[in-house]
């Protein structure tokens, strides 16, 4: 049976409003499904988000492969100031008009479902509802869509504090994995969700990542995290980095340490620590963590979900964080590490022990990251089978 003209001409607008996190999910997802009969456009709030994605070896490869039409609300590289709602409209009126205009001529709007949305993302959502458009909320990364303890599902009162809005029943939440709990689905109280699969566990995507080469060899990968007052102070960041550095030098004296940064992290923070302690053979890499992790001898990370990346390739990874008691009070739920069966060092003694276990050939693999569950559902063309 031939597909209808309406289905062939389905117009999809993907609004990238917060940062690279959305790119990390949506481009891999689209690369795995049949998009031939879809009119897909990417609408970036800021041009600099697209420039960051284009300068990344992995994401730029996917961008070139898909070649979707790209539109910028703000053609300047400068970040749009997120002020109060009405001030945004007055100061950025031309951007506001372009946003509404693009929504008007689309069938489906895809937006980030992050807990705290960018102001213009809320504007997009409001007008999509007003114009009776279908709204699909996407993850902000393929690494962080898990509710870690079903007993910690918040009450309605707690959800209201987290940003609950009854109009969320107008959206469909894209959830990654039917065998886990979607953090955003429960915490933000969506009425409907649809399971699409996790691109990072899909064999085809992992093969694509593996096909991209880089020149680095014989290195330990350290995934860093940004400093903030409540969860991870700058002093704590320094202590964790130096403790890691000393142990890596003890067991891997000739290996380079490659450091990848969190998107919100200031590069100067790590650079200053390296200079202060005269750290040798340490390099801050601009390469994608997913690319680096597939060849790393060992990956160590602090808090960040980037340290999950090597687990998709069956390689060892350790989370090292000595202040995990802060996590619950900061985010309102327990840490995902136990649920995901990820190795977690709570002090330098435990970190050293795990490094020794790795040297002895012990595998830290978690069944949660096993690529055997690799089905990706095409939610736009229901007649297409899973891939």
Contacts of 315 (CB under 8 A, 6+ apart): 293, 294, 296, 298, 299
Contacts of 182 (CB under 8 A, 6+ apart): 145, 146, 147, 173, 175, 176, 193
**Could you give the residue ranges of the DSSP H alpha helices within the chain?**
5-8, 20-31, 47-54, 57-66, 85-91, 93-104, 119-130, 156-161, 183-187, 203-211, 234-251, 267-276, 289-293, 309-312, 325-331, 337-340, 348-359
CATH 3.40.50.2000 is the classification of domain 214-369: yes
Task: For 300-313, write each residue's pLDDT tens digit.
Answer: 999 888 999 999 99
Q: What is the average pLDDT across 39-45?
A: 93
Indicate the average pLDDT of the chain: 84
Judged against a pLDDT cut of 60, whether residue 115 lies above it is answered with no
In angstroms, rounded to a whole number, what is the distance separating the alpha carbons of residues 109 and 130?
Answer: 12
Residues in a beta bridge with 147: 181
Instruction: Tell me the whole-structure pTM to 2 decimals.
Output: 0.86
Residues in a beta bridge with 223: 260, 301
DSSP character at residue 180:
S
Would you say 195 and 181 are in contact if contact means Cβ atoms under 8 Å apart? Answer: no
* Extents of the domains making up the chain: 5-208, 214-369
Judged against a pLDDT cut of 90, whether residue 186 lies above it is answered with no
- The pLDDT of residue 384: 58
**254 φψ region: left (φ > 0), alpha (ψ -120 to 50), beta (else):** alpha
Measured distance between the N- and C-terminal CA atoms of the chain, rounded to whole angstroms: 21
Topology of the domain covering 5-208: Rossmann fold (3.40.50)
- The pLDDT of residue 144: 62
In angstroms, rounded to a whole number, what is the distance separating the alpha carbons of residues 19 and 47?
Answer: 11
Two tokens, residue 216: 């680095």
* Common-topology check for domains 5-208 and 214-369: yes
| 239 to 73, 156, 167, 277: CA distances (angstroms) | 41, 39, 44, 11
- The pLDDT of residue 126: 87
Determine the distance from the C-alpha atom of residue 122 to the mean position of all C-alpha atoms in its chain, rounded to a whole number: 20
């Amino acid at each position: 049976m031939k597909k209808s003209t309406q289905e062939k001409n389905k117009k999809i607008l993907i609004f990238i409003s917060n940062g690279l996190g959305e790119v990390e999910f949506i481009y891999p997802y689209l690369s795995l499904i049949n998009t031939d009969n879809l009119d897909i456009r990417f609408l970036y709030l800021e041009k600099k988000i697209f420039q960051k994605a284009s300068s990344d070896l992995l994401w730029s490869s996917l961008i070139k492969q898909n070649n979707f039409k790209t539109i910028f609300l703000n053609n300047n590289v400068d970040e749009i100031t997120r002020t109060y709602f009405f001030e945004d409209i007055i100061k950025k009126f031309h951007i506001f008009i372009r946003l509404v205009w693009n929504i008007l001529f689309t069938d489906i709007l895809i937006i980030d479902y992050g807990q705290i949305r960018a102001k213009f993302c809320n504007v997009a959502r409001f007008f999509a509802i007003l114009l009776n458009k279908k709204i699909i909320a996407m993850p902000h990364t393929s690494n962080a869509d898990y509710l870690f303890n079903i007993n910690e599902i918040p009450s309605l009162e707690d959800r209201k504090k987290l940003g609950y809005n009854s109009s969320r029943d107008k959206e469909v939440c894209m959830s990654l994995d039917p065998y886990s709990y979607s953090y955003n689905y429960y915490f933000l109280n969506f009425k409907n969700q649809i399971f699409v699969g996790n691109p990072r566990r899909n064999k085809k995507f992992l093969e694509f990542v593996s096909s991209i080469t880089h020149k680095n060899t014989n290195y330990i990968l350290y995934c860093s995290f940004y400093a903030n007052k409540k969860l991870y102070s700058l002093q704590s960041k320094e202590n964790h980095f130096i403790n890691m550095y000393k142990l890596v030098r003890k067991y891997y004296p000739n290996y380079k340490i490659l450091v990848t940064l969190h998107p919100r992290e200031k590069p100067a923070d790590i650079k200053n620590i390296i200079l202060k302690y005269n750290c040798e053979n340490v390099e801050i890499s601009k390469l994608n963590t997913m690319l680096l992790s597939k060849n790393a001898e060992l990956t160590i990370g602090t808090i960040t979900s980037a340290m999950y990346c090597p687990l998709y390739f069956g390689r060892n990874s350790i989370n090292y964080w000595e202040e995990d008691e802060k996590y619950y009070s900061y985010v309102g739920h327990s840490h995902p590490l136990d649920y995901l069966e990820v190795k977690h060092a709570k002090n330098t003694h435990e970190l050293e022990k795990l490094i020794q276990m790795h040297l002895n050939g012990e595998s830290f693999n978690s069944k949660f990251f096993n690529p055997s569950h690799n089905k990706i559902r095409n939610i736009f063309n229901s007649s297409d089978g899973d891939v």
